[in-house]
Amino acid sequence: MDIQTLEHIALFDKCRQFTKAREIQAAGLYPYFKPISESEDTVVTIEGKKRIMLGSNNYLGLTHHPKVLEAAQRALYQYGSGCTGSRFLNGTLDLHRQLEDALARFLGKEECLVFSTGYNANLGFISALVGRGDVVMLDKLDHASIVDGAKMSFGETERFTHGDLASLDRKLERAGARGSMIVVDGVYSMEGDIADLPGLLRVARKHGAAVAVDDAHALGVLGPNGDGTAAHFGLIEETDIIAGTFSKSLASIGGFVAAAEPIIHYIRHHSRPLIFTASLPPANTAGVIAALEVLQVETDRRDRLWANTRHLHEGFRSLGFEIGPTETPIVPVLIGPMEQTFIMWRRLFDAGVFTNPVMPPAVQPSQCRLRTSVMATHTPDQIDYCLEQFAIIGRELGVI
């Protein structure tokens, strides 16, 4: 379709008028959709240059683990490249059931259901469980997939200020005797802080509300065995639903929901994102099974992750950077204005450090930041180099 045709279709006016990204591209500051041509765990090659990856969710560094790669390769040749159908019909493999059984045991739940993505998992369980007359309560910093799952449901959505349990209590009081569910992130993806699950459960039980936790950034990170937020607080039995993704610590793609068997049975037969989406490919599924096994055996990886997390936290704070309330390997570095953030991203990128710029509408215009995240496999020298570059460029730009 040429530009003249576009000009005659009103629906596409917004496309022609969207110029901000092109302006940033023209200035040489565009940070998104950068093709990675090669990956070596903590180092990636982009535009022909090796750069330290300080923006990945590969917390345990398992994407290159030989057991994960070998399991994926075996499954590829045994089952083929894809399932070519949904879980509901021809797309369920014995591998899917093996993974569901292993995750249920690991998380301390009766049953588990595997989805094609973590996004689909949240869409799937929220839209299946929250029906007409029900209400779903969301923290204002919940992940977009949680918000979209609530929108897809036929229930009412209420949002409460981040971590404000008094606000949540008032909203549940107004909701009355309706069916209600609270859905929160276990670890918030842009802030790095941990949900107050004990407090949430106290409020929920007062009003007879269900509690669901998205452990996307907590699985493999929190808990005595890397088993997530509920385990971290010793509240596995009290937490009704645990959801998550395989695209972070478990080094692949896909998602899951774990809960009591009647809940999973209902979701299995009512979740449109499950029933109408092709199932997780064999190689990915086998890789996740292997990654889950490695997570439980190589516990020193989690020790190294937390040592690196402390190293990065202390380094940024000692240099004078503002990193907010983070308690986890997610470390947001506040820069401030949008243009300055783009410039600092570019300077770091040119210095061989890859970070993720966070801009409006995700944050306020004056609160732009660079989201960094550390891995178990980063070396102390790599972290020191990144901190050194942040210090040099931050001082030159007046950030610190």
Tens-digit pLDDT profile for residues 357-381: 999 888 888 999 999 999 999 999 9
Q: Is the pLDDT of residue 345 over 80?
A: yes
Give the tens place of pLDDT for each residue, 383-396: 999 999 999 999 99
Q: What's the mean pLDDT in 135-155?
A: 97
In this predicted structure, the answer to whether residue 34 has a pLDDT above a threshold of 70 is yes
Instruction: Work out the average pLDDT over 213-230.
Output: 98
Mean pLDDT of the chain: 96
- Among residues 217, 232, 313, 378, the one annotated as catalytic is 217
Instruction: Specify the pLDDT at position 295.
Output: 98
Active site residue 248: yes
Q: Could you confirm whether 217 is annotated as catalytic?
A: yes
- The domains of the chain are located at 18-53+299-396, 66-297
Give the closest residue to 231 by CA, choosing from 376, 105, 101, 60: 105
Catalytic position from the list 56, 189, 247, 373:
189
Considering 109, 232, 248, 378, which one is annotated as catalytic?
A: 248
Region of poorest pLDDT, from 47-56, 61-70, 207-216, 363-372: 363-372
* H/E stretch holding 256: strand 255-259
Mean pLDDT value across residues 71-81? 98
φ, ψ of residue 78 to 5 degrees: the values are -80, -40
Tell me which of 11-15, 148-152, 178-182 is least confident: 11-15
**Which residues does 57 contact at the CB level (< 8 Å), separation at least 6?**
217, 247, 248, 249, 373
* Structure confidence at residue 363 (pLDDT): 84
Give the right CATH number for 18-53+299-396 from 3.30.70.980, 2.20.70.10, 3.90.1150.10, 3.30.420.40.
Answer: 3.90.1150.10
Per residue in 261-284, is it b (16+ CB within 10 Å) or e — as a string? eebbeebbeebebbeebebbbbbb
pLDDT at residue 3, as a whole number: 64
66-297 — its CATH code?
3.40.640.10
pLDDT at 61 over 80: yes
Asked if omega into 365 is within 30° of 0 (cis), the reply is no
Q: Judge whether residue 190 has pLDDT over 80.
A: yes
Q: Which of 251, 382, 228 is nearest to 308 (CA)?
A: 382
Give the model's confidence band at 1: pLDDT under 50 very low, under 70 low, under 90 confident, else very high. Answer: low
Query: How would residue 7 be classed by pLDDT, with cut points 50, 70 and 90?
Result: confident
Q: How far is CA 331 from CA 304, 316, 337, in A?
A: 16, 9, 18
Q: How far apart are CA 270 and CA 267, in angstroms?
A: 5
Is 232 annotated in the active site?
A: no
